[in-house]
Amino acid sequence: MRVPAILLMGIVLSACVSSKEPPSQPVPPANLGSTQAAPPVAPVPVPAALPPGYTRHIIYRDGRFTLPDGSTVTADPSGGFTISTGAYIPPDGTGGIILPNGARCISDSARGHFCP
């Protein structure tokens, strides 16, 4: 009875022994996208000719706007976007946008905007 048990134990343990093949490299999950960091983007310089009070900057990058509060929204093809309240911010036709309070933001020449 000891011989079959030892034989069985030997077979089980032999399955745990590594083979001579090199270990395979791990593959990242397909849903992560690129794991490389995005290259840094230099900030747009504030033009000297800004009207007084235009202190807020909406930054455009890779199809998204980063708002002054740090939130991001997707840009639509016309240049407008929808904010978290559901309000649509339309382009004004001259490169700027019109805020829900009626204030006009002007272009920063990099698809972003300076706002009062």
User: What tens digit of pLDDT does each residue of 48-87 get?
Assistant: 678 888 899 999 999 999 999 999 999 999 999 999 999 9
Count Cα neighbours of 85 within 13 Å in the Cβ-side half-sphere.
Answer: 5
Q: Which residue is listed with tokens 């309070």?
A: 101
Q: Which residue is listed with tokens 């310089």?
A: 45
CA dist., res. 106 & res. 103, Å (int): 10
Considering only CA atoms, which of 37, 34, 55 is closest in space to residue 46? 55
Question: For the chain, what percent of residues have pLDDT higher than 90?
Answer: 49
Count Cα neighbours of 86 within 13 Å in the Cβ-side half-sphere.
Answer: 0
pTM score, whole prediction:
0.58
